[in-house]
């Protein structure tokens, strides 16, 4: 009988093998579900890949979707490095969009040349403040941040609804729940002319670099790493847990807020529903598939961005609901978490001699 034994040390292959094999496993399981839905999984998967990667346009659109995913991925990754689970990047992203819209629509800055930096900063500030709510609750009252960040997502979405159905509704929208459009000065410029790839790409990549620098080259990053590795050692070294919770969550909220400001300014050009098809939640998968490595986040974000885009295609070509994307994402996350756990074991077949000896008694 083959038995699973705990590994004495992690396999060096696990770093790459776990995410890759888990993703393959997820697609295999997804194939079974697609077949149940009466669709040839091969056809579906071919569609899924051909849309995002089959053309220049597909590639640029994949990048467009990867931009917010990089940022929300980092917003999950940074707190996770000190064992804080930020499930609220979705809400922080929404607040970022609200903050940006406020600057553009309700301050005189919207028509000036500084509109773009102003709306980005406002988005980051709004995301940071939103994220500070669960941070303060955790730091001062030890309230579990997993639950508070998650629940605040719903409140953030309702807040957007309130604004676009109520005080911020565009009188010219003919009853549609939309804010007034952003003036041209407040639109994030395109990075590649003729495509939707916008300046946010550079900001997201800069955020990746900054996160790496923060973690490895600053005292703050050192404290995060110690807290994440051994909270007791951190306490022993006099590292202030509460202060670091507030700081890390504020930075995380700002990153997600930046994503929201970018979406509102570059893609939608206004505050509206559906700014994010779940970028905040997908950021959780991005961070874990990247094994909490900032650089890998950028790559994984592209793959999951492609999944969003391919899902759009499936809707059109095969008439599948967009929920297929959520299903595949869910499967990937499930398989990655399971894979992490299984990587801690190895399979061992008993030697024939040992089996004989065991039988002899």
CB 70 within 8 A of CB 287: no
Among 143, 233, 323, 349, binds other proteins (CB under 8 A): 233
Sign, Cα dihedral of 120, 300, 321, 330: negative
State the burial class of residue 241 (Cβ atoms within 10 Å of its Cβ: 0-12, 13-18, 19+).
Answer: middle
CB 257 within 8 A of CB 95: yes
- Rg over CA atoms, the chain: 23
Q: Is 218 in the site for other proteins (CB under 8 A)?
A: yes
- Region binding other proteins by CB under 8 A among candidate stretches 56-64, 213-221, 279-287, 311-319: 213-221
Distance of CA 165 to CAs 90, 95, 277, Å? Answer: 20, 16, 20
Q: Which is nearer to other proteins, 222 or 334 (CB)?
A: 222
Q: Is 294 in the site for other proteins (CB under 8 A)?
A: no
> Looking only at residues 238 through 257 of this chain, which bind other proteins when binding is defined by CB under 8 A?
238-240
Q: Is 142 in the site for other proteins (CB under 8 A)?
A: no
Among 9, 141, 174, 194, binds other proteins (CB under 8 A): 9
Q: Which is nearer to other proteins, 149 or 244 (CB)?
A: 244
Q: Which is nearer to other proteins, 111 or 243 (CB)?
A: 243
Q: Is 4 in the site for other proteins (CB under 8 A)?
A: no
CB 11 within 8 A of CB 343: yes
CB 116 within 8 A of CB 110: no
Q: Is 222 in the site for other proteins (CB under 8 A)?
A: yes
> What is the nearest approach in angstroms of other proteins to the Cβ of residue 8?
6
The single-letter DSSP state of residue 350 is P
Q: Is 291 in the site for other proteins (CB under 8 A)?
A: no
Q: Which is nearer to other proteins, 6 or 32 (CB)?
A: 6
> What is the nearest approach in angstroms of other proteins to the Cβ of residue 124?
19
Q: Which is nearer to other proteins, 27 or 222 (CB)?
A: 222
Sign, Cα dihedral of 11, 13, 17, 19: positive
List, in order, residues 6 or more apart from 254 with CB less than 8 Å away: 124, 125, 127, 128, 131
Residues that bind other proteins (CB under 8 A): 8-9, 216-222, 225-226, 229-230, 232-240, 350, 353-354, 357-358, 360-361
């Amino acid at each position: 009988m083959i038995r699973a034994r705990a590994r004495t040390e992690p396999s060096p292959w696990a770093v790459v093998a776990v995410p890759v094999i888990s993703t393959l496993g997820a697609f295999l399981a997804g194939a079974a579900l697609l077949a149940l839905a009466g669709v040839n999984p091969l056809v579906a998967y071919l569609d899924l890949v051909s849309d995002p990667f089959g053309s220049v346009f597909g590639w640029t659109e994949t990048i467009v979707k990867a931009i917010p995913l990089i940022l929300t991925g980092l917003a999950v990754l940074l707190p996770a490095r000190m064992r804080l689970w930020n499930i609220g990047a979705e809400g922080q992203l929404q607040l970022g969009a609200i903050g940006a819209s406020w600057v553009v629509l309700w301050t005189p800055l919207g028509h000036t040349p500084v509109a773009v930096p102003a709306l980005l900063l406002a988005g980051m500030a709004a995301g940071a403040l939103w994220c500070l709510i669960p941070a303060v609750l955790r730091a001062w009252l030890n309230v579990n941040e997993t639950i508070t960040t998650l629940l605040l997502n719903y409140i953030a979405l309702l807040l957007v609804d309130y604004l676009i159905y109520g005080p911020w509704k565009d009188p010219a929208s003919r009853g549609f729940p939309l804010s007034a459009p952003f003036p041209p000065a407040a639109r994030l410029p395109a990075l590649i002319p003729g495509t939707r790839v916008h300046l946010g790409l550079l900001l997201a990549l800069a955020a990746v670099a900054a996160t790496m620098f923060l973690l490895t080259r600053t005292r703050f990053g050192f404290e995060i790493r110690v807290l994440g590795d051994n909270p007791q050692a951190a306490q022993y070294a006099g590292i202030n847990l509460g202060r670091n919770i507030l700081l890390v969550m504020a930075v995380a909220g700002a990153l997600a807020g930046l994503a929201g400001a970018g979406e509102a300014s570059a893609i939608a050009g206004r505050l509206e529903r559906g700014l994010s098809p779940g970028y905040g939640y997908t950021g959780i998968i991005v961070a874990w598939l990247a094994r909490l490595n900032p650089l890998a986040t950028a790559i994984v974000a592209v793959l999951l961005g492609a999944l969003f885009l391919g899902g759009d295609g499936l809707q059109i070509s095969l008439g599948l609901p967009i929920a297929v994307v959520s299903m595949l994402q869910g499967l990937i996350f499930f398989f990655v978490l399971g894979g992490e756990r299984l990587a801690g074991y190895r399979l061992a077949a008993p030697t024939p001699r040992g089996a004989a000896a065991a039988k002899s008694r």
